[in-house]
């Protein structure tokens, strides 16, 4: 009886233990802890946090610029660690995400005309609205010039050309914000857009020509751009800013391409960030530290974007105001400082954040989203122009 009771008790204990293990396993599987999905498996549809991340990155740039607008250009950037500031890292993160999404766009559409139409309508209409607002609405109020000089100075009228041509966007219309620490600057963030457009074009050239395309070519491109960036940083420290920026941002963009190309092999856990972050920190201000920083950023970004995170809402249906925040926050801050030269960074941020969000929302609803609705028609129009050109060229050659 004692033996039988012991066996019964042991069986009950084993069944209880087995049941506990089974329940624990089910809970872990439900939370996707035992099943380590890849980025490729998680990246399906639009239910992700990419829009939220872009908003957060735009906000990070805004936060640092609230301090920067009150300082002279020769003062080191605030909120920096090992020489890399918050806005610097955020811009790199933007390019990493862009490399991932542009690669996806190319493979899904595989049509050069639709691709070109989508990229143009995503960037140019909002820029046109910003540059025209600068010239005709904000400029006349914040310029130090008289009305006659303001309207007759070529710099005023050339500003939209500079912006839409991705040329010299350092200065705005003539005489603006003349007494501020950042005199003459209207939207200081626009300089990154020329590199974004170059990256769009370069990716399209690789995709639509016989140049190899795939995960290995993406890895090769990342190796080439990383080597170029390190070479410049180590052996040409006085390289022109345009060259250094091109190398820096192309490295981030091609890293995003690598993540997309290898998405089915990369686990949806930030283990790579766990290795890269300490290496970045220990590297100090060495040239190669930025590569570790970018890798850590990429690992963290895509984990946040696609992991379940305990059921945290993705907020995937919120409007994409990030572009509007990115291009509009700086002129808003400059204008706040123009009317209140003694404003602190905190006050500038508190006023500028809601004002910028409102402007970005209007830009999205009235300019950006309506423009994107015409991308299919615009793509067809571009294709028709190309067909007419080819037909005319063939006819001329035949004659």
User: Among 89, 55, 103, which Cα is nearest to 304's?
Assistant: 55
Lowest-confidence range among 22-36, 75-89, 215-229?
22-36
Rounded Cα distance between 171 and 144, Å, is 14
Paired tokens of 391: 């037909």
Model confidence band, residue 13 (pLDDT cutoffs 50, 70, 90): very low
CB 257 within 8 A of CB 99: yes
The answer on pLDDT for 385 being more than 70 is: yes
Distance CA 392, CA 380 (A): 18
Q: Give the pLDDT band of residue 360 (cuts 50, 70, 90).
A: very high
Q: Is the pLDDT of residue 60 over 80?
A: yes
26-40, 45-59, 89-103, 253-267: least confidently modelled range: 26-40
SS3 189: helix
Residue range 206-235: mean pLDDT, rounded? 95
H or E stretch including 335?
Answer: helix 322-339
- pLDDT band with cut points at 50, 70 and 90 for residue 6: very low
- Higher-pLDDT residue of 229, 237: 229
What's the rounded mean pLDDT across residues 240-269?
95
Distance CA 172, CA 151 (A): 13
| pTM for this prediction | 0.88
pLDDT bucket at 398, cuts 50 / 70 / 90: low
The predicted-structure confidence for 132-145, as pLDDT tens digits, reads as follows 999 999 999 999 99
For the segment 203-214, the average pLDDT, to the nearest whole number, is 94
Query: Taking each helix axis from N to C terminus, what angle separates 271-282 and 289-306, rounded to the nearest 10 degrees?
Result: 150
Specify the pLDDT at position 35: 52
Least confident interval from 20-34, 212-226, 286-300, 354-368: 20-34
Q: How far apart (Å, rounded) are the C-alpha atoms in residues 96 and 293?
A: 12
Asked whether the predicted pLDDT for residue 16 surpasses 70, the reply is: no
Burial of residue 220, with CB atoms counted within 10 A of its CB: 0-12 exposed, 13-18 middle, 19 or more buried: middle
- 81: helix, strand or coil: strand
Cα 126 from chain centroid? 16
How deeply is 100 buried, as exposed, middle or buried, from its count of CB atoms within 10 A (0-12, 13-18, 19+)?
A: buried
pLDDT at 121: 96
Query: Can you give the pLDDT at residue 36?
Result: 57
* pLDDT mean over 49-62: 96
Higher model confidence: residue 391 or residue 148? 148
What is the 8-class DSSP label of residue 188?
Answer: G
Here the tokens at position 378 are 């615009």
Predicted pLDDT of residue 175: 97
Instruction: Give the pLDDT mean for 367-373.
Output: 96
- Residue from 58, 118, 67 nearest 91 by CA: 58
Residue 110 is predicted with a pLDDT of: 85
DSSP states of 145-179: S-HHHHHH-HHHHHHHHHHHTT---SS-STTBTTT
pLDDT of 159-174, one tens digit each? 999 999 999 898 999 9
CA distance 259 to 106: 15
Closest listed residue to residue 187, CA positions, set 177, 179, 197, 195? 177
d(CA 76, CA 365): 37
Contacts with 67 (C-beta within 8 Å, 6 or more apart), sequence order:
78, 79, 345
Query: What gap in Å lies between CA 262 and CA 270, rounded to an integer?
Result: 15
Which residues have C-beta within 8 Å of that of residue 105, sequence separation ≥ 6?
115, 118
Average pLDDT, the chain: 89
Q: What is the CA radius of gyration of the chain?
A: 26
At residue 399, the pLDDT reads: 54
């Amino acid at each position: 009886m004692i033996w039988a009771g012991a066996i019964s008790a042991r069986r009950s204990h084993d069944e209880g233990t087995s049941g506990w293990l089974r329940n624990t396993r089910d809970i872990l599987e439900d939370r996707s802890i035992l099943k380590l999905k890849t980025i490729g498996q998680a990246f399906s549809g639009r239910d992700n946090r990419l829009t939220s991340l872009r908003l957060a990155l735009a906000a990070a740039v805004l936060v640092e610029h609230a301090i920067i607008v009150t300082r002279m250009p020769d003062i080191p950037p605030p909120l920096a660690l090992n020489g890399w500031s918050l806005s610097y890292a955020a811009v790199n993160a933007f390019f990493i995400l862009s490399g991932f999404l542009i690669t996806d766009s190319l493979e899904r559409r595989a049509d050069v005309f639709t691709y070109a139409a989508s990229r143009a309508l995503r960037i140019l209409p909002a820029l046109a609205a910003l540059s025209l607002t600068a010239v005709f609405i904000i400029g006349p109020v914040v310029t130090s010039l008289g009305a006659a000089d303001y309207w007759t100075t070529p710099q005023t009228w050339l500003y939209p050309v500079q912006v839409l041509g991705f040329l010299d966007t350092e200065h705005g219309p003539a005489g603006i914000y003349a007494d501020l620490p950042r005199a003459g600057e209207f939207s200081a963030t626009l300089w990154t857009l020329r590199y974004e457009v170059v990256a769009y074009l370069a990716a399209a050239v690789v995709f639509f020509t016989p140049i190899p395309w795939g995960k290995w070519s993406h890895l090769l491109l990342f190796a080439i751009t990383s080597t170029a960036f390190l070479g410049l940083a180590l052996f040409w420290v006085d390289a022109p800013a345009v060259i250094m920026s091109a190398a820096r941002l192309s490295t981030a963009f091609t890293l995003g391409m690598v993540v997309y190309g290898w998405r089915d092999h990369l686990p949806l856990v930030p283990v790579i960030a766990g290795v890269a972050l300490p290496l970045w920190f220990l590297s100090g201000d060495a040239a190669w530290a930025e590569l570790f920083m970018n890798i850590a950023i990429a690992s963290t970004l895509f984990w946040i974007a696609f992991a379940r995170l305990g059921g945290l809402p993705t907020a995937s249906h919120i409007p994409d105001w990030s572009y509007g925040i990115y291009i509009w926050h700086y002129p808003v801050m400059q204008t706040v400082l123009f009317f209140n030269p003694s404003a602190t960074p905190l006050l500038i941020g508190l006023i500028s954040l809601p004002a910028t969000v409102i402007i970005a929302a209007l830009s999205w609803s009235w300019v950006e989203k309506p423009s994107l609705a015409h991308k299919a028609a615009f793509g067809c129009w571009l294709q028709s122009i190309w067909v007419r050109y080819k037909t005319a060229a063939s006819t001329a050659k035949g004659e």
